[in-house]
Every structure is written in C-alpha cells, then in structure tokens.
Amino acid sequence: MKKTLSILLALAMIAALSLSLASCGDKKDGYTVGIVQLVQHDALDAATKGFQDALTKEFGDKVTFDYQNASGDSATCTTIVNSFVSKNVDLIMANATPALQAAASATETIPVLGTSITEYGVALEIKDFNGTVGGNISGTSDLAPLDEQAQMILDLFPETKTVGIIYCSAEVNSEYQVKTVEKFLTDKGITVTRYSFSDSNDIAAVTTSAVASSDVIYVPTDNKAADSAETIGNIVREAKKPLIAGEEGICSKCGVATLSISYYDLGYKTGEMAVKILKGESKIAEMPIEYAPTTKKYNKAIADELGVTIPEGFVAIEG
C-alpha cells in the first residue's frame, strides 16, 4: 500500500509539473500587444482600427491592446517602445515609419510588425532589399505605384507644365516618393520643384509658395502633410490649383484625386499577420512584406469646384 501511495504521489507531481510547463509555454490565457502610432490622422487611425479588429476577431477578450500615440514626435515613439519592451509585450505594432524605426532600435526579440510604411528598405536602411526584412520585423506597406500616381497628373491635367511637390523633408519615405515621382515627370518634360518643410508651422508658407509657381500640386503619402491637410486644402482651393494626393485621407481634405489603398484593409492584413505569429503558425523572420490593392479615387466636391471632368474608373471618396 505504501509503495502504491508513493507511485500515485509521484504521478500526481509529474502531472502538476506538466501542467505548469504547458501553461508557461502556452499563451492561450492571453496576449498583450503594444501599438505605437506616430500621429493621429484618418489613414493611421484606420490602419490601427483594422489591426485591432483582426486580432479581436481571432482572440476576443484574450488580447489586450496597449495603444500609445506619439503626437507626431519621433522621440516619443522611442519612449513608448521602450516602455513596451520593459513590459515584455507579446508583439509590437508600429504605425508609420518613425514608429517602426524606434521599435527596430529598441528590441531584437519581440516581434515587430510595421504598417503604413512606404518602403522598408529605405526606412530601415537595408541595401538591396528583397522584400523580407528578417529578424524580428515584418509588416505591410502602403506604397502605391508611384509612376501611376504621377501619370494621373498628366491624364487629368494634360496641359501641365509645372508641378510643385509639397512634403516633409524629415520623413525618409517621403523623400523616396518625391525622387521617384520627380524623375518620372521630369522624363516627361515637366518642370518639377520641391517645396519641403520640416515643421508644421512652415506648411502654410510653403504651400502658398508652391501654388504661386505650379500648375498642379502633388503631395505624397506623408504623415506631417496628412496632419495638416486642411491647412493645405484651404490654400490650394483659394488659389484654384488642383492637387493630386498620395493617399485617400489627404485627398479627402485637399485633393482632386489619388491612387490609394484602404488603410483599414492594410491594418487588418497586418493584424492577420500578427495572429499567425502569436499562434506560432508563422515565423516573423520568414514573412515577406505584404501590400494592399490600389483604387483610383476622387474628391467630388473639389473636382466640381475646379470644373475637372473625372474619367471612368474612379470611385468617389465617401463623406
């Protein structure tokens, strides 16, 4: 009897230890996901919402979001990400390039998914980027075909001779877009002038200068510009100058047309990637950057105001 009792106790201890180990290795009890968003504006907000919806659909109340907004300050992105690292969150979602750069510098172990990133090779200074970052980083890109965006200027405004590009010089991915669009238009014989700003306080003066010397204005996917799109819009509309935008959020406030993506869908796709990582179905080091499909859209109010005829194939921006 004594021997039998000892065997039963030993078996009970083994079972308890197995359960303990299983609970340590199995995160089914819940996940904590840190979200660092550079600034609050329509596009980034939509991406964050899509990301959260995808994870909530899969995990319900077993996923907790620690959402932090950096209010447009790159240094604050670093502070936020460092707090996530100290809390040892299960995954970090970095919304916009400075947020991704901060996360990449802060950790090499916690999975980091970027979203609303134009070009990962540029953002992370990766030479000969092949589409997969590797390590602990992957995500989604909001890059639309820049040559098609530039061609849209010529298709809608065939008499264009001068184009002014307004962008934030502090955003490396804005620089990348500007170079690409500038080369395309220059090769077509268009005179292109850059009008850059480094601070939101300069946007009004820069925009005023741009509209005075340009037939058409182009604004790339740019977080600072998106944050000040209404200011830009007031000036270009008063000057009756058409603007082509890099994304829908900017276009809805100041543009005639855009070749854009759904940032909600982009964020949702990022969330689906997060689900695979958290469930152990995919290794982040092997996950290539993913993209969302593009759609030609136009701002009916501004198009009507300027008397611009929008061809077939464009969808009106809602709201």
pLDDT tens for each residue of 268-301:
999 999 999 999 999 999 999 999 889 999 999 9
Which residue matches tokens 């100290």? 86
Summarize the confidence of residues 107-128 as an average pLDDT. Answer: 95
270 vs 136, 295, 296, CA distance in Å? 14, 19, 22
DSSP state of 30: -
Q: Where are the beta strands (DSSP E) in 7-89?
A: 31-37, 63-69
What per-residue confidence (pLDDT) applies to 94? 98
d(CA 117, CA 122): 10
In the predicted model, is pLDDT for residue 123 greater than 50? yes
d(CA 129, CA 137): 13
What per-residue confidence (pLDDT) applies to 22? 41
d(CA 5, CA 286): 51
Instruction: Give the percent of the chain with pLDDT over 90.
Output: 83
Residues 6+ apart with CB under 8 A from 93: 33, 34, 35, 36, 48, 51, 112, 113, 114, 115, 270, 274
What per-residue confidence (pLDDT) applies to 78? 98
Residues 6+ apart with CB under 8 A from 168: 174, 196, 197, 198, 222, 223, 224, 225
Summarize the confidence of residues 189-202 as an average pLDDT. Answer: 93
Summarize the confidence of residues 173-202 as an average pLDDT. Answer: 94
pLDDT tens for each residue of 203-219:
999 999 999 999 999 99
Higher pLDDT, 262 or 298: 298
pLDDT tens for each residue of 22-61:
434 445 689 999 999 999 988 999 999 999 999 999 999 9
Give the strand order in the sheet containing 243-245: 191-197, 162-168, 216-219, 243-245, 257-260, 295-298, 315-316
Summarize the confidence of residues 83-108 as an average pLDDT. Answer: 97
Q: How many degrees, rounded to 5, is the angle at CA 151 between CA 150 and CA 153?
A: 70
d(CA 26, CA 29): 8
What per-residue confidence (pLDDT) applies to 17? 42
What per-residue confidence (pLDDT) applies to 28? 63
d(CA 33, CA 88): 10
Instruction: Give the percent of the chain with pLDDT over 70.
Output: 91
In the predicted model, is pLDDT for residue 10 greater than 60? no
Tokens of 288: 């290539």
Identify how many contiguous H helices and E strands the chain contains and give both numbers.
Answer: 13, 13
What per-residue confidence (pLDDT) applies to 2? 46
Domains and CATH numbers, the chain: 31-142+262-288 (3.40.50.2300), 146-260+296-316 (3.40.50.2300)
Higher pLDDT, 240 or 200: 240
199 pLDDT band, cuts 50/70/90, is confident
The pTM of the full predicted model, rounded to 2 decimals, is: 0.78
Average of per-residue pLDDT values in the chain? 91
d(CA 257, CA 303): 8
